[in-house]
Chains A and B, each alone.
Chain A
Amino acid sequence: MRITADREVCCSAGQCALIAPDLFDQSDEDGSVVLLEAQPDAGRLDTLREVVSRCPTGAIRIEEDPGA
């Protein structure tokens, strides 16, 4: 599983850093998303789905492993 975070689209609302502070942070300059861990283990899928649904701009995507 891979996560991608698009800093251009992000509006710095920080839902990601609130829900999964171990996976996401926000930059000090403009608060845009900083990905801390691009390939978390599969056990985090539920948390990540929550992040994706709560991110107000659709900046975060998960690519699930094929066949997983």
Chain B
Amino acid sequence: MSYPDGSPGWLITRHAEAKELLTHKSFSARQEGIISPVPTELQYDGRPADPGAFAKTDDPIHSQYRKLVTGFFTVRRTRQLAPMIERIVHEQLDDLEKAGPGADLVEVFTESVPSRVMCEMIGVPESERKTLQRHVETLGRLSCTVPEALAAVSGMSGFLSRFVPARMDDPRDDLLGDLIRGGQLNEQELMGMAATLITGAFDTTGNMLAMGVFTLLEHPDQLAKLREDPELMAGAVEELLRFLTISHLGASRWALEDVEFAGQAIKKGEVVTVALPAVNRDPERYNNPDQLDIGRTDHGHLALGHGVHQCLGQHLARTILRVGYEALFDRFPTLRLTVPGDEIPMRDDFVHYGPRSLPVTWDD
């Protein structure tokens, strides 16, 4: 296929080939060579990623940075965060209760929970959260213009250049404090790392939380099953991740050399995009791929990527989703949409797919 800037590119829609690409040594995730497969105002200008922004680098640089924070995101550590997450979820649900019956679930609940969790983990003051959220949102919008992006970037870096040095003088007992005390990162790198964590956590999980609620409300049989047997929750979260694949533009890599891949000759510099939603519904991999089945056991989806860049915060996201869905449907058993599902406005011009708003109501 041809990419929006006219250069030739490739699209992967098969599950097996996607896994192979994302672990292939001849393909790079470095920001320098990535071209978006969909038109955007912003195209990378060949600049390398900022120091500490490890998602857009390759190994060994990538793993040097990533390893400094992976200890905070293990399965066990993120499970230990459940009480904090539960507190935040319930506080937001208190707000929801006060706001209704009848409220926008995105505004009161799904958007706030993950950003509050991440802010608490790295010690970002609550007063800054909404502004940062807007910046992250701007940068994730495909129609974002260059001046808008510059404003968002300078808003972010303006905040970070006040926040990080202040914390370096006075490290707290949190993730950022530990990184500072570890002494392996300089100020620039700490800023890049904080930006990566903020951008990685805010929009992604919020959209997934909202999309999952929307989807369950639209599949009442599945929701009823889940209510009957709460044990199904972990599997339901995986199935929602697969079914929804909110990173709908996929993951891209570029060839570091001429290489033959999946029977095609790919030239050095050409970009290959994994169409994650297609891959996660590959009929060669899944039975009835287009059906939401929370009882499905053969997940192995790629919604969170594959290879060394597989989502760092995935277990944190899983915990937020599990706690969030559980508490919401538990406290609001009569929750329902106030408009037909096809009238819900969607964020189809964003890197992460989700509803713009989710008008719901419930019986008092």
Contacts and interface: CB of A to CB of B under 8 A. Distances in A.
A28 B74 contact: yes
B283 interface: no
Contacts of B311: 13
A54 B67 contact: no
B206 interface: no
B246 to A, nearest CB: 19
Query: What size tier do the contact residues of chain B reach?
Result: 20 to 34
Contacts of B76: 17, 25-26
11 contacts: A11-B70, A11-B308, A13-B311, A14-B74, A25-B76, A26-B75, A27-B71, A29-B71, A30-B70, A32-B70, A56-B305
A38 interface: no
B71 A13 contact: no
Contact of A54 (B70, B75, B300, B312): B300
Contacts of B309: 11
B308 A56 contact: yes
Contact of A21 (B66, B75, B305, B306): B75
Q: Which of B74, B305, B307, B309 has the most CB of A within 10 A?
A: B74
Contacts of A32: 67, 70
Interface centre among A30, A50, A53 (most CB of B within 10 A): A30
Contacts of A13: 310-312, 314
Contacts of B325: none
A58 B310 CA distance: 13
Given A13-B314, A31-B72, A32-B67, 18 more contacts: A11-B309, A11-B310, A12-B67, A12-B71, A12-B74, A14-B315, A26-B75, A26-B76, A27-B71, A27-B74, A28-B77, A29-B71, A30-B71, A31-B70, A32-B70, A53-B300, A56-B305, A56-B307
